Amino acid sequence: MVPGSLLVVGSIALDSVSTPFGETADALGGAAVFFSMAGAVLCPVQVVGVVGSDFPEEHLKKLASRGVDLAGVERQRGESFRWKARYSYDLNSRETLETRLGVFAQFQPRIPEKFRDARYVFLGNIDPELQLNVLDQVKQPKLVACDTMNYWIQGKKDLLLELLRHIDILMVNDSEARELSGDWNVYRAAHWILGRGPKMVVIKQGEHGALLVDPETTFKAPAYPLQEVFDPTGAGDAFAGGFMAYLARTGDLAFPNLRRAMIYGSAMGSLAVEAFGTQRLEQITLQEVHGRVKAFRDLIHFSLDGEA
Ligand code: AMP
């Protein structure tokens, strides 16, 4: 099996996060980081992003040591993107305390020549205008998935709707799906989105799992029942990394394989939250990922009355 190339464009951040179990300051974070660390376990990942002059070289080395190709990471003069958040006691809600864009404010993704043949592309949560711009730079992707957030849904809805016509999968959380569609019901919201262009919609529902919806079918992956969760930051991006990397690794976009990819995504998300920031993903092995995927099968397998 020859894995297809997987490209991600998105934030590379210094995160300061506090949960009831501890806190971090200026730790390695950002959507492209969680995505690529998770994805790199399954296939080679190429990253495009920007960091400031204050971004520690050791942080980048952590990515490089996982085999992530950083040729598309620019270092610019100025402050790195910083994000500060605090989680509630049950870890279900979080408050963003500070977002300092720094060099990320002027980010203009430039896809290096050697990344332009990428077959699998993930457009992390950035300005939809820049996401469209990335699509102009890649040659012939087989699968394009994209994330967004409420800020862009409110501020740049027209461009976002334009983007939807050019992508295969929109991957958002339930509140974003509701806000984009104007419908509180996530299943109707998913079909509203399908009517705007994408072939599939993935709706992430945190501790309630994730949905894969296409015009004919719906598949639900549960969240893994963890007894210890330390830091939910980046779970959604690790999910996306696992999902896309599994598809890139296998090259199979048929529905049974898309369902498996949902479980690889869920496995990666569940592993990511077992430690602070990227700590767990920095150590993770392919064997552990396969093990978690098998545990998912046991979790949801059942037989009909009369079956073995
Ligand atoms: P998640 O928990 O999946 O929502 O991802 C959290 C990650 O997204 C953190 O590592 C942040 O650095 C990053 N992040 C937070 N706000 C933004 C933003 N406005 N744009 C891009 N990335 C962000």
Class of domain 6-300: alpha beta
Q: What is the mean pLDDT of residues 63-78?
A: 97
Residue 52 Cβ contacting ligand 1 at under 6 Å: no
Give residue-wise pLDDT tens across range 251-289: 999 999 999 999 999 999 999 999 999 999 999 999 999
Question: In the prediction, which pLDDT does 91 show?
Answer: 84
Atom of ligand 1 nearest to the CA of 277: 10
Q: What is the pLDDT of residue 220?
A: 97
* DSSP character string of the chain: -PPPPEEEE---EEEEEEETTEE-SSEEE-HHHHHHHHHTTTS-EEEEEEEETTS-HHHHHHHHTTT-EEEEEEEESSPPEEEEEEE-TTSS-EEEEEEE-GGGGG------GGGTT-SEEEE-SS-HHHHHHHHHH-S--SEEEE---HHHHHH-HHHHHHHHTT-SEEEEEHHHHHHHHT-S-HHHHHHHHHTTS-SEEEEE-GGG-EEEE-SS-EEEEPPP--S-----TTHHHHHHHHHHHHHHHH---SHHHHHHHHHHHHHHHHHHTTSSTTHHHHH--HHHHHHHHHHHHHHH----TT--
Confidence of residue 202 (pLDDT cuts 50, 70, 90): very high
Q: What integer is the mean pLDDT of 7-36?
A: 96
- The token pair at 298 is 């046991």
**pTM, rounded to two decimals:** 0.97
Asked whether residue 29 carries a pLDDT value surpassing 70, the answer given is yes
Mean pLDDT, all residues of the chain: 96
Intra-chain end-to-end CA distance of the chain, in Å: 33
The pLDDT value recorded for residue 93 is 86
Average pLDDT over residues 142-148: 98
Tell me what pLDDT residue 308 has: 76
pLDDT band at 1 (very low <50, low <70, confident <90, very high): low
Please indicate whether residue 31, judged by its CB atom, sits closer than 6 Å to ligand 1: yes
Per domain, the residue ranges of the chain are: 6-300
**Mean predicted confidence (pLDDT) in 111-126:** 97
Query: Which pLDDT score is estimated for 2?
Result: 57
Could you tell me the pLDDT band of residue 291, with boundaries at 50, 70 and 90?
Answer: very high
- Per DSSP, what are the bridge partners of residue 5? none
Q: Is the pLDDT of residue 103 over 90?
A: yes
Cα of 30 from ligand 1 centre, angstroms: 5
The torsion of the CA quartet 127, 128, 132, 137, rounded to 10 degrees, works out to 20
85 lines ligand 1 (CB under 6 A): no
Residue 235: its pLDDT value, please? 96
